[in-house]
Amino acid sequence: MTSDHSTAPTRSQETTLQGNLYTPVSSVLELRHVSCAYVAGRPAVQEISFAAREGEILCLLGPSGCGKTTILRAVAGFEPVRSGQIFLSGQLVSSPDVMTPTENRRVGMVFQEYALFPHLRVQDNIAFGLRHLARSERSARVQEMLRLTGLEGFERRYPHELSGGQQQRVALSRALVQNPVVLLLDEPFSNLDPDMAGRMRQELHDLLRRTKTTTVLVTHDHDEAFAMADRIAVLNQGRLEQFDTPEMMYHMPATPFVADFVGQADFIPGTVFQGMVHTELGEFSNTIECEDGTAVVVMIRPDDIHLVPTKGATSRVLSRQFRGSENLYTVSLPSGQIVHSSQGSTSVYQAGTAVELRVLATHTVLFRREESTGLASQPVRPIAREH
């Protein structure tokens, strides 16, 4: 077994990782140490801090019940904060003593179930929040939204005469037509079939970019977060574990929980000795400060492990899962440790094949051994780096 070089990314590598990042100018939404609780003494979210820059698309990502909707509701002004502060466009809107009403926050919300008015036509659903404007102005704004969201020709239909995707576009139009400071979207694709969801993601992404809309989107699906977000906040049991770009989240997860949640990951035990981590898969550079003898785990992704069928090799293919564009292999090392390897769709090896493992990790992600048990640890940075 060989391990190709595993060192912490340099600044220039990090720049490449963040190469696609949209770089807006100022902070439109900021949460500072926000905690909310439905029942006193039992916080639903705790000490949440993050900020969205103008035009940025943020995703709140985490399993069901981790507090995503609670955070959206707090930003929208539906839920008070027990401690901390929320700022919109630099104005304090929530704190234990301040609660600006929803209608004065200029946030747009799209809920999972869209909540359209069934008795109103598309055009009147969209115009609903514009009653204060003159008729001609209102009509011009609605026409503009219909054009932006591709709903021209549907303006006189009722919601029940529309597909799920079209209903979603109406809900989006109704929120966007008011030029919200921030658009809040709670699992907007969960009612759509996967094909439609994929198309709507792309459409929505283009629309948000064109309209330069600052957005917070909630999802439990890491693929969706990766596809949509400039930055992602990963939540676990009401706490923020990492706030970072999708690329950093995947390659440099801050905690074992994040590592596991954003994609398939294996955790290989190792021991630190003289600057290196010694594992069954070879040696890796040590990237955390610790003494010789410290027990650690190295996180490795399936795309970092290459398989080479070799007579006499001591690792064995256990199973293959065909996924169309790739084969995901489960492999057993001599110790019984299981790892996963993704290979091209045409690399087909039978169960029982003896294989050499080549580890192609370009960087090492290490956790102390005690942190990786249960995969719900205190946030720790695996590698020291600036932001």
- Establish if 12 lies at the interface with ligand ADP (CB under 6 A): no
Q: How many angstroms separate the CA atoms of 5 and 361, rounded?
A: 7
| Number of residues forming the site for Mg ion (CB under 5 A) | 1
CB of 69 to Mg ion, least distance (A): 3
CB of 71 to Mg ion, least distance (A): 9
User: 219, 64 in Cβ contact below 8 A?
Assistant: no
Nearer CB in complex with ligand ADP: 45/162: 45
- Establish if 44 lies at the interface with ligand ADP (CB under 6 A): yes
- Establish if 78 lies at the interface with ligand ADP (CB under 6 A): no
- Establish if 70 lies at the interface with Mg ion (CB under 5 A): no
Q: Of these, 16, 20, 22, 65, which contacts ligand ADP (CB under 6 A)?
A: 65
117 φ, ψ (degrees, to nearest 5): -85, 115
State whether the Cα torsion 6-225-55-380 is positive or negative. negative
DSSP 129: G
Work out what residue 197 binds among Mg ion, ligand ADP, none; the CB cut-off runs from 5 to 8 Å by kind.
Answer: none
Work out what residue 70 binds among ligand ADP, Mg ion, none; the CB cut-off runs from 5 to 8 Å by kind.
Answer: ligand ADP
Q: Of these, 69, 125, 167, 372, which contacts ligand ADP (CB under 6 A)?
A: 69
Structure tokens given for 66: 């981790």
Binding to ligand ADP (CB under 6 A): which residues in 108-167? none
Structure tokens given for 173: 């139009």
Q: Considering only the stretches 68-76, 149-157, 194-202, 253-261, report the one whose residues sit in contact with Mg ion under the rule CB under 5 A.
A: 68-76
Cβ within 8 Å of residue 353, ≥6 positions away? 309, 316, 317
| Number of residues forming the site for ligand ADP (CB under 6 A) | 10
CB of 62 to ligand ADP, least distance (A): 6
CB of 185 to ligand ADP, least distance (A): 12
Q: What is the residue-wise DSSP string for 181-223?
A: SEEEEESTTTTS-HHHHHHHHHHHHHHHHHTT--EEEEES-HH
- Establish if 216 lies at the interface with ligand ADP (CB under 6 A): no
Structure tokens given for 44: 């639903």
- Establish if 334 lies at the interface with ligand ADP (CB under 6 A): no
Nearer CB in complex with ligand ADP: 76/127: 76
Nearer CB in complex with ligand ADP: 223/292: 223
Structure tokens given for 132: 């204060």
Rounded to the nearest 5 degrees, what angle is found at the Cα of 59, between the Cα atoms of 54 and 61? 160
Q: Can you list the alpha helix ranges (DSSP code H) found in 10-149? A: 11-17, 68-76, 122-127, 135-148
Q: Of these, 3, 6, 46, 69, which contacts Mg ion (CB under 5 A)?
A: 69
- Establish if 366 lies at the interface with ligand ADP (CB under 6 A): no
CB of 44 to Mg ion, least distance (A): 11
Show the 3-state SS of 242-280: EEECHHHHHHCCCCHHHHHHCCCCEEEEEEEECCEEEEC
Binding site for ligand ADP (CB under 6 A): 38, 44, 62, 64-70
Binding site for Mg ion (CB under 5 A): 69
